[in-house]
A and B are shown apart, each in its own frame.
Chain A
Amino acid sequence: MMFAASGQNDKDRRIQQLYFVLFGIMTLLLVLPVLIILTTLVVKGGPALSIDFLFTKPTNGMTAGGIFPALLGTIWLVLVALLFSVPLGVAAAIYLSEYAPENVFTRIINLAIINLAGVPSIVHALFGVGAFVIFFRFGTSILAASLTLGIMTLPVVIVATRESLQAVPQAFREACWNMGATRWQTIRRVVLPNAVTGILTGIILEVSRTAGETAPIMFTGAAFFLPFLPQGVLDQTMALSLHLFVVSTQVPDMPEHLPFGVALVLIGIVLIMNSVSIALRMYLRGKKKW
């Protein structure tokens, strides 16, 4: 019988099953902590959540009331950071991917970008203090904090954008050039429209990262507690990440559900952002025309 199993087949199959189980367990170990954290947060923080919690100010030395100023502050910080890092990052990526010649200079820039991505956030924070708070005299303000966040996430934007640009087939560019299109016309009409989804995904991921950062904003613009909302970019602001740190460690007599509630909101924002990004990517991959 030609297809009968041999002893060697059995052994191979057992080894194959062993690896299957092994890798399965590893994967589970990876997912487990996430699940535990999420369940704990939902169980302990869930009761704190309500419309009021999201839209009122903290009261009683932050041991009661809501998180509105911190939530609003995080949105401010992220938006201003995006306003800075997206145009700059996208423009830099377009230059690097579409215009820059291959030479020592561009290689140094690429190296710098990779290194910038690896700089610890506390170093960014101190840079932010030196550059924006003191040198540019923005003081501790939303502007200074957002610029610090923006610089920190710049490499992410650049790398994400550059990758999406490079995913657009070279044949499209050559097709355009051969009809007498300039580089910019090619980028504007063919490259960008086909890369925009990847760029957007990258930016959304950046938002979720920015929203959770604490160190870079701590010395540059975020305050423990403020009795009023920021009126402009030169005011200080509260922020969710810092607020979480404060209510978990700095305030006595804190009811347990409150920090968990703050954490839940923060992680909720991050998860929602990531899901949007994944959904967008899947939707657009389905629509991809090449």
Chain B
Amino acid sequence: MWKGVLAEFATQESNAAPAAIRTRDLNLWYGTFQALFDINLNVRNGIITSLIGPSGCGKSTFLRSVNRINERLGYVRIAGSIDVMGNNIFAPDVELLQVRKQVGMVFQRPNPLPLSIRDNVLFGHRLHEANKAAENDVVEKALREVLLWDKVKDRLNQPAIGLSLEEQQKLCIARLLPVKPRVLLMDEPCSALDPKGTEAVEELIWELRGDYTILIVTHNMAQARRASEECVFMLMGKVVEHTATDTMFVTPENKETADYIEGRYG
């Protein structure tokens, strides 16, 4: 009975402010192995949602479904639907690269391209626009947004790989911005960083809040608690709980959630 109420609540909410990501009965298989089970999730627009759960529960798989990067693997099969900003990303007339433009992704290991800092930031811009004159502005704006401009403005033409990991990760976020995504997916963006780098990137993510809908996977409970407004807990390919972060950390509804938050899983 409470499930129906919940569903109603979800619909009402989606009428008020449409979800940035909305999945319905999403199931995903790697070959015969099912990695996601009936995921029904509304990720609210313009806020930071964190996705937590033990290793192997399907967090990365879920993220990689939202920008359809998983499909590259021939043996992946998906059932159900995913809407991004109210549009079904599996609709037949959808252009894959339009989806990817709207949904940027940041990976666990910073992956700057083997180019200069400047060329990294401009990579996406140059794919979609030929406007050379705007390039300097684009670079400055993107790097300012990720709080990196003052540090790198004098060495824009040096290889991006020479930056520290923290700076590389910020650069990886910066290069998404000129493409003007609506949603940023971040898969453990701080796990390769030291505590100081983690703090800096967290601060940045907080700064980006509002301009972008952010879905961030993290293993760091403190981070989830500090840096997100809503929190999703996944276990074995299922969404167990999705509530306001404060609620989840203070009065979790499910026993599994409580166990995980208190560190009783790996």
Q: In the complex, A185→B128 CA distance in Å?
A: 11
Whether A102 and B74, one on each chain, are in contact in the complex, defined by CB atoms closer than 8 angstroms, is yes
> When the two chains form the complex, which single residue of A169, A171, A180 contacts B100, counting CB atoms closer than 8 Å?
A180
- Which B residues are CB-close (under 8 A) to A179? 100-101, 104, 123-124, 127, 175-176, 179
CA distance A190 to B126 in the complex (A): 13
Chain A residues with Cβ below 8 Å from B75 are: 102
- Which chain A residues lie closer than 8 Å to B73 at the CB level? 102
Q: Are A175 and B111 in contact (CB under 8 A)?
A: yes
| Mask: chain B, 66-77; 1 = CB below 8 Å from A; 0 = not | 010100011100
User: Do residues B127 and A185 form an inter-chain contact, with CB atoms below 8 A?
Assistant: yes
Q: Is A194 an interface residue (CB 8 A)?
A: yes
1/0 contact string of B55-90 vs chain A (CB within 8 Å): 000000000000101000111000000000000000
Q: Is the CB of A180 within 8 A of B114?
A: no
Contacts of A178 in B (CB 8 A): 67, 69, 100, 103-105, 176
A180 to B100, CA, bound (A): 5
- Pairwise interchain contact B111-A169, C-beta atoms closer than 8 A: yes
Q: In the complex, what distance in Å separates the CA atom of A177 from the CA atom of B179?
A: 12
A182 within 8 Å of B by Cβ?
Answer: yes
What 0/1 pattern do residues 107 to 140 of B give for CB contact below 8 A with A? 1010111100000000110011000000000000
Q: Is B41 positioned at the interface, with any CB of A under 8 Å from its CB? A: no
A283 within 8 A of B: no
A178 to B123, CA, bound (A): 11
Q: Which residue of A lies closest to B159 (CB)?
A: A289
At the interface, yes or no: B172 with Cβ under 8 Å from chain A?
yes
Report whether B113 and A176 are in contact in the complex, using a CB–CB cutoff of 8 Å: yes
Q: Are A101 and B74 in contact (CB under 8 A)?
A: yes
Q: Are A181 and B97 closer than 8 Å at their CB atoms?
A: yes
Q: Is B161 an interface residue (CB 8 A)?
A: yes
> When the two chains form their complex, are residues B179 and A171 in contact, meaning their CB atoms are under 8 A apart?
no
- CA distance in complex: A102, B161 (Å): 32
Task: State which size class the interface on A falls in.
Answer: 20 to 34
- Say yes or no for B98: interface residue by CB 8 A criterion: yes
* Residue A52 interfacial (CB < 8 Å): no
* Nearest CB in chain A: distance from B100 CB, A: 5
**How far, in angstroms, from A175 to B100 measured CA to CA in the complex?**
11
Question: In the complex, what residues of A have CB within 8 A of residue B179's CB?
Answer: 179-180
Contacts of A194 in B (CB 8 A): 114
Say whether A172 contacts B100, CB under 8 Å. Answer: no
How far is B100's CA from A172's CA once the two chains are assembled, in angstroms?
A: 15
Tell me if A256 counts as interface (CB < 8 A to partner B): no
A174 engages B105 (CB within 8 Å): yes
Q: Which of A99-126 contact B (CB under 8 A)?
A: 101-103
B221 CB to nearest chain A CB (Å): 27
Q: Which residue of B lies closest to A189 (CB)?
A: B123
Interface centre among A169, A175, A180, A189 (most CB of B within 10 A): A180
Can you sample 21 A-B contacts with CB below 8 Å?
A101-B74, A102-B75, A103-B74, A172-B114, A174-B111, A175-B172, A175-B175, A177-B69, A177-B97, A178-B100, A178-B176, A179-B100, A179-B123, A179-B124, A179-B179, A180-B100, A180-B124, A180-B179, A181-B97, A190-B113, A289-B161
The 9 closest A-B pairs by CB, nearest first: A179-B124, A180-B101, A171-B111, A289-B114, A101-B74, A102-B74, A180-B97, A178-B105, A180-B100
Interface residues of B (CB under 8 A from A): 67, 69, 73-75, 97-98, 100-101, 103-105, 107, 109, 111-114, 123-124, 127-128, 159, 161, 172, 175-176, 179
Which residues does A use to contact B, with CB under 8 Å? Answer: 101-103, 169, 171-172, 174-182, 185, 189-190, 194, 289-290
